[in-house]
Amino acid sequence: MENKYNLVQKIEVAVPKDRILTDEPMADHTTFKVGGPADIFIDIVSEDELGKVLSILNENNISKMNRDFYLFGNGSNLLISDEGLRGIVLHLSKNFADIDIKDEATDCRLICKAGATLAAIARKAYDNSLTGFEFAAGIPGTLGGAIVMNAGAYDGEMKQVVESVKLMDTQGRIFVKSCDEMDFSYRHSIIKENDFIVLEVVIRLKKGNKDDIKAKMDELAQKRRDKQPLEYPSAGSTFKRPEGYFAAKLIQDAGLKGYSKGGAQVSEKHCGFVINKDNASAKDIYELIKDIKLKVKQDSGVDIETEVILLGKFD
């Protein structure tokens, strides 16, 4: 990639300079609260702006597939190395978070921008007496990331409520795919194999009783408070669920409850969570994850995979 300051000058044609930052610490933009600086960090506020920036990057042979640039929401499922990211972070800002409602007789659609948080969407659904999105109210992160991962909790997942997804490729072309075309499965969507960017999602919900919706949201929120280490920085559930097993039980059975590496720890409240307990570095978290995977494999013979995405240089 060319000199970052030369590139910044080119990007300033599309984005005001006050929204283009250099050497921005990524610890400020991830829920793990770790991560070194990104070369260039750009706050994106609209589809049009995103398309213009992508056009500039293409003209300069800067590719997402080659990890020259990254797309960020609120960094809730990421572990970024202490060395940071060599390249460009395109951050979908809070201005990329509109939630509109289209009312119909018995169904209702929410038209949500990719930067909207799942919590905000759940609140909008509740405010309009819409049921079906309660499961997602406590999932950290933005809608774009939730679509990429087909995020889920408490027997709900995104594919149950998505009607269609508006996407942009890295050439700036915009198109729409139906829920079936998104190839949703456990922690997977078509975006995993393609260079697509989520712009907007149509979510179809049902009319419901507002008191019942609130009661369900409160019940799930209490379960999270009781069972998850919400008081510490983390990336949510660290590991995928192995087929036929539960990652947290495998980790606990391996004697790793409370096991630490530097400032990182296996949560004593929920063994499926690695937490930043005491000013951990990304290396602390990474080394702890490696220890967990090795010990579980030795103890039970099961390979557990991380749900958290690692970005930057670790080994």
Residue 76 designated active-site: no
Catalytic residue among 189, 234, 237, 281: 237
In the structure encoding, which two tokens stand for residue 106, read together?
């018995």
Catalytic residue among 76, 187, 204, 281: 187
For residue 238, give the DSSP letter: -
Residue 187 designated active-site: yes
Pairing type for strands 152-153 and 156-157 reads antiparallel
Catalytic residue among 47, 49, 157, 307: 307
Where would I find the beta strands (DSSP E) of 4-146?
20-25, 37-44, 69-72, 78-80, 85-92, 99-103, 107-113, 130-131
Apex 76 CA angle, 74 and 78, nearest 5: 110
The span from the CA of 86 to the CA of 254, in Å, is: 37
Backbone angles phi, psi at 95, to 5 degrees: -75, -10
The span from the CA of 193 to the CA of 306, in Å, is: 18
Residues with catalytic roles: 187, 237, 307
